[in-house]
């Protein structure tokens, strides 16, 4: 994701959803999806249909997950033939990759690891209606044309089944002013799976945001010893599709 320029044109539907509120661009993703913040405490996501992560799926999962953890409240969600949109109530806090934390990787990485463990401990596996298993992920990736190497079809045995957040990259955890992980965003892929599926992606994303040297810090903060086999497998699966 990237931060769009302030002069980015505002889609007509976003302007309609915002009403009289002023808009500030927040994110632009690789397929042209946009996120705006309003000055009355909302976030508006708008973009083309994405086979990998629908906003309808995200809305359903946030409505479910907020019974146990802090996630944005869904205000409205919709779609038409070409685009979809999601409006949520803003949550206090900063993304873990906000400039506020640019020079404090130790604080940020540990906070994300601890917040991921709290999410896994809080969400009830038996009540979760979705899965993020290896088989379901491979089937979904192949449905949009990804080619999955045969070696990835032989997954390691599940270490611990949890409700995975599905996209545990650093930007999707919010931190408070004290540097503690307080909330989670972007939950479109939430579902049951091996906890290492999330740990692998979260620790790998430290490389993208802070450079080498922080992967094991996140895993330590989560509270486990690094499992190199599962880390390698789930990172390869993530990168494949």
- Binding-site residues, please? 172, 186
Chain center to CA of 191: 12
Nearest-5° angle of CA 72, CA 112, CA 230? Answer: 115
- Concerning whether 167 is annotated as a catalytic residue, the answer is yes
Long-range contacts of 133-141 (CB under 8 A, 24+ apart): 133/191, 133/192, 133/193, 134/193, 134/194, 134/237, 136/191, 137/193, 137/237, 137/241, 138/237, 138/241, 140/52, 140/241, 141/240, 141/241
Choosing from 167, 194, 198, 227, the catalytic residue is 167
Do 34 and 14 meet the contact criterion of CB atoms below 8 Å apart? yes
Pick out the residues of the known binding site for Mg(2+): 172, 186
**Rounded CA separation 173/180 (Å):** 10
Catalogue the active-site residues.
Answer: 167
């Amino acid at each position: 994701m990237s931060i769009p320029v302030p002069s980015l044109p505002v889609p007509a539907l976003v302007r309609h959803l915002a009403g009289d509120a002023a808009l500030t661009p927040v994110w632009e993703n690789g397929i042209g999806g946009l996120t705006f913040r309003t000055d009355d405490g909302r976030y508006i996501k708008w973009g083309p249909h994405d086979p990998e992560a629908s906003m309808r799926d995200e809305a359903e999962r946030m409505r479910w997950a907020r019974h146990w953890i802090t996630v944005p409240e869904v205000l409205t969600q919709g779609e038409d033939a070409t685009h979809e949109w999601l409006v949520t109530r803003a949550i206090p806090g900063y993304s873990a990759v906000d400039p506020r934390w640019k020079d404090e990787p130790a604080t940020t990485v540990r906070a994300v690891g601890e917040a991921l463990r709290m999410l896994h401990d809080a969400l009830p596996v038996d009540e979760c209606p979705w899965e993020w298993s290896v088989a379901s992920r491979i089937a979904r990736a192949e449905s949009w044309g990804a080619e999955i190497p045969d070696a990835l079809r032989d997954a390691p045995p599940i270490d611990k089944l949890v409700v995975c957040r599905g996209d545990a990259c650093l930007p999707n955890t919010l931190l408070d002013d004290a540097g503690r992980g307080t909330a989670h965003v972007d939950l479109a892929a939430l579902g049951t799976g091996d906890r290492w599926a999330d740990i692998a992606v979260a620790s790998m994303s430290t490389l993208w945001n802070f450079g080498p040297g922080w992967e094991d810090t996140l895993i330590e903060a989560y509270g486990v010893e690094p499992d190199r086999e599962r880390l390698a497998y789930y990172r390869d699966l993530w990168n494949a599709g």
